[in-house]
Amino acid sequence: MRLILAGMLLILAGGAQAADCSKWKASMEEGEGGSRMVARICNAVGGELTVECGAPGTLLMAFAPKGDFAPPGDNPDLVGSFSIKIGSESFDRDMTYWAMDGLMGADVAFKEKLALALGKADGGAISFASSKAGIADSSFPLNGAAAALKKLKASCRRG
């Protein structure tokens, strides 16, 4: 009986994790510097996008392509040029490979058009494309992004 119950709980937990990819969430998480607010979304193929507070007046935006990501040629100093699309808006942005985390990341000022567009989005998707960096395109839903980012920004120091 216990084995059946444990198996059912695992199945339900797996279903809950899959549902986590349908909407952005902002919550306190433990990290290297202690507790911090993080807004997060995943996608159906295994990638993840996070936004957290950076230096005063900035956000740190980072995404992990699906699977065990390593930069092309295992270049630990990779900087790739990305086209980031939110709805009909497109933004060109250099993103740096963060080797400790296995992510591509960038600082985004609160007042930049990219941050403003992301903070207003609540539906559709945000996509990252880079033909020159050799990294597969990634896309993430924007359901709940506006509320999650509002909560995140409220926890950040202003610059």
Q: What is the pLDDT of residue 56?
A: 94
Q: What is the pLDDT of residue 11?
A: 35
Q: What is the pLDDT of residue 66?
A: 72
Contact (Cβ atoms closer than 8 angstroms) between residue 64 and residue 96: no
Residue range of the domain that includes 144? 2-155
Q: What is the pLDDT of residue 130?
A: 87
Q: What is the pLDDT of residue 3?
A: 33
Q: Which residues of the chain have pLDDT under 70?
A: 1-19, 67, 133, 159
Contact (Cβ atoms closer than 8 angstroms) between residue 140 and residue 49: yes
Distance CA 70, CA 74 (A): 6
Q: What is the pLDDT of residue 159?
A: 57
Its pTM stands at 0.82
pLDDT digit string (tens) for 100-131? 888 899 999 999 999 999 999 888 999 999 87
Q: What is the pLDDT of residue 148?
A: 96
Q: 133, exposed or middle or buried, with CB in 10 Å at 0-12, 13-18, 19+?
A: buried
Domain CATH code at residue 15: 2.60.40.1880
- Provide the residue type at 75 as one letter: N
Q: Which residues of 44-73 are buried (b: 16+ CB within 10 A; e: fewer)?
A: eeebbbbbbbbeeebbbbbbbbeeebebee
Q: How many domains does the chain have?
A: 1
Q: What is the pLDDT of residue 153?
A: 93
